[in-house]
């Protein structure tokens, strides 16, 4: 099997990849935490490539603090753009394929039609802008890449919306949750499976893809489903985005069309409710 290196291996998606790799008997894979291999440290990165001679790189390392990014522009750009560039350069040099994660935040979110990979990008936050810059810099240095845009990531690992709602649901009788932002939750275990599927298939259908679970929902409906599946009596109250101001602006509509990844890579994608039920089963 071709060796795979995972950068950002201790984060939410990295932990999901560890779980799925173990389940599938995917053994020739090395998980690197930030302190082991920082994607901004070119000297350490080169040494890591030389040591392992990887065939595949999965880049889970990212600056994802959406609101903090509005104040930490330089740091967000270094991680999300420069880090991606560093990996792309080395992938080209070592003939490795790069699997890189991006986000629905590259879109303005002002439409109402599912977004394809060719839809116009117009990020409205620093986070979205720096992730788009990462997408754009990778093809400048390597042709062997898969960029997967994803959305509303959650799992039983690390901090995320599902775990936050479960915690609040045990503490509060009522939760006010935004109902006028529409998108699709993505179970990070499913995303991890898609990434390993790409490697296992040996596909050379390089390029940009969208991956989330199927369906569309609001944060309000997502929270309501979490409380229902968790057997919590918490009442969910719908509020508008304007009633919950945040430093960074979020897309109002960021449902992504998955036609391309299903056709090109032969992926079957579960509905978000089915995947949420699976996650909740593991959390209980």
Which residues carry out catalysis?
Answer: 127
* CA 141 – CA 91 distance, rounded (Å): 9
* CA 28 – CA 91 distance, rounded (Å): 18
Across-strand partners of 58? 6, 99
On whether the CB atoms of residues 61 and 79 are closer than 8 A, the answer is: yes
Beta strands in 130-220 (DSSP E): 145-150, 153-154, 174-178, 182-183, 186-187, 207-210, 217-218
End-to-end CA distance of the chain: 35
One-character DSSP codes across 78-91: IIIIIHHHHHHHHH
Q: What are the tokens at 237?
A: 């109250």
Cβ partners under 8 Å of residue 183, min gap 6: 104, 151, 152, 212, 216, 217, 251, 253, 254, 255
For the chain, the C-alpha Rg in angstroms (whole number) is: 18
């Amino acid at each position: 099997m071709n060796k795979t290196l995972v950068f950002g291996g201790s984060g939410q998606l990295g932990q999901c990849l560890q779980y799925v790799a173990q389940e599938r008997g995917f053994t020739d894979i090395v998980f690197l935490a930030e302190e082991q291999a920082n994607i901004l440290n070119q000297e350490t990165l080169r040494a890591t490539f030389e040591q392992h001679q990887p065939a595949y790189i999965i880049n889970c390392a990212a600056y994802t603090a959406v609101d903090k990014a509005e104040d930490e522009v330089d740091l967000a750009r270094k991680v999300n753009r420069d880090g991606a560039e560093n990996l792309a350069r080395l992938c080209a040099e070592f003939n490795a394929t790069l699997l890189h994660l991006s986000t629905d935040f590259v879109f303005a979110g002002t439409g109402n039609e599912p977004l394809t990979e060719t839809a116009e990008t117009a990020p409205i936050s620093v986070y979205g802008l720096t992730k788009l810059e990462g997408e754009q810099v990778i093809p400048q240095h390597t042709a062997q890449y898969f960029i997967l845009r994803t959305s509303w990531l959650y799992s039983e690992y690390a901090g995320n919306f599902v775990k936050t709602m479960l915690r609040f649901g045990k503490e509060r009788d009522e939760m006010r949750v935004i109902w006028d932002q529409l998108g699709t939750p993505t179970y990070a275990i499913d995303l991890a499976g898609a990434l390993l599927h790409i490697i296992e298939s040996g596909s050379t259908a390089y390029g940009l893809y969208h991956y989330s679970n199927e369906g569309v929902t609001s944060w309000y409906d997502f929270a309501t489903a979490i409380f229902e599946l968790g057997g919590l009596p918490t009442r969910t109250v719908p509020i508008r985005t304007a009633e919950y101001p945040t430093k960074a602006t979020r897309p109002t509509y960021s449902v992504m069309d998955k036609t391309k990844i299903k056709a090109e890579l032969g992926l079957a994608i579960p509905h978000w409710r089915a995947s949420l039920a699976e996650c909740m089963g593991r959390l209980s």
